[in-house]
Amino acid sequence: MLFGKLKPTVTEEDKQWIEDVFIWFEEEYGRVYLKNVPVILPTKEFFPFDFKGNQSDVHEITKLICQYLEIKGVDIELHFFNDHQIKFSGGLVTAQEIEGSKYSNRNTLGTFSENGVNRFSIGIENQLLLDPVRLVATIAHELSHLVLLGEGRIEENDEELTDLNIIAMGFGVFKANSIFSFSQWQGTSHQGWEASRIGYIPEEMATYALALMANYQEHMDLSWSAHLNTSCKNMFERNLKFIQKNKDAIRFK
């Protein structure tokens, strides 16, 4: 910062909450596990196949994410649905509304349900087949429900906690990059711009959580951060600098 004290991208209240959640993650998963969770990236190293945007790709991605989340011995049924907004002729279209400091989804991209002992169902909005980053983030989020709810770690659904969980389990780059999108669309007689936000936490919180994990794991090589979009990378670097300069004020370390 040019003037004043370096600050994170989150409020003090959100900072404390995120750190409380990650301390709980450490209690649940163990320090050794969390210290060694790899950062999953949108590369052939982690997704070794050509993405064609079809439903078979979704099945393949789901299998891979299950491996990375160490989900075993369960039956997962995938189904697909349409819930995407229609683009109108003028103005911006948003997929999410802001209510206070929280986001409220206006359309559904993924669903999770438990269908019996070790049997789960995940629904994927067909529009996600056009966006592999958001597709991976959504599948990881829905499988995170399985890790938290399905494995009995929590009794009541908590969407914000579920979003933070996928960051703790290595999908922070996908989570952060998927939150905000701004793109142009072209119709038969009109064109315009579409802005959308997905998920339950904003970029400011996602990048603070990502920086918290990077500091916790004592990453010496941060080359993976090049996969963050420009906005998220700037926020991540700001948060990491804050954390490293204020280590005594960080409880998750």
Q: Average model confidence (pLDDT) for the chain?
A: 87
The band of 183, judged by pLDDT with boundaries at 50, 70 and 90, is very low
Domain ranges of the chain: 12-249
The band of 185, judged by pLDDT with boundaries at 50, 70 and 90, is very low
Rounded to two decimals, what is the model's pTM? 0.86
What average pLDDT does range 125-132 have in this prediction?
A: 95
The band of 181, judged by pLDDT with boundaries at 50, 70 and 90, is low
* Residue 199 CB contacts under 8 Å (≥ 6 apart), including other chains: 103, 137, 141, 163, 175, 178, 179, 206
Q: Which DSSP helix (H) or strand (E) runs through 59? A: helix 55-68
Higher pLDDT, 124 or 99: 124
Higher pLDDT, 107 or 65: 65
- How far is Cα 123 from Cα 219, in angstroms, rounded to an integer? 35
> How high is the pLDDT of residue 41?
98
Higher pLDDT, 10 or 221: 10
Percent of the chain with pLDDT strictly greater than 70: 82
> How high is the pLDDT of residue 84?
61
> How high is the pLDDT of residue 83?
77
> How high is the pLDDT of residue 219?
80
pLDDT higher than 70, residue 184 = no
Angle, helix 203-216 to helix 230-245, in steps of 10 degrees: 50
Higher pLDDT, 89 or 232: 232
> How high is the pLDDT of residue 108?
84
What average pLDDT does range 150-179 have in this prediction?
A: 97
pLDDT higher than 50, residue 16 = yes
- Alpha helix positions (H), 93-248: 132-145, 159-166, 172-178, 203-216, 230-245
> How high is the pLDDT of residue 188?
53
What average pLDDT does range 68-93 have in this prediction?
A: 75
> How high is the pLDDT of residue 220?
81
Torsion 61-163-201-127 (CA) sign: positive
- How far is Cα 38 from Cα 64, in angstroms, rounded to an integer? 14
The band of 4, judged by pLDDT with boundaries at 50, 70 and 90, is low
pLDDT in tens, 186-212: 455 544 444 466 789 999 999 999 999
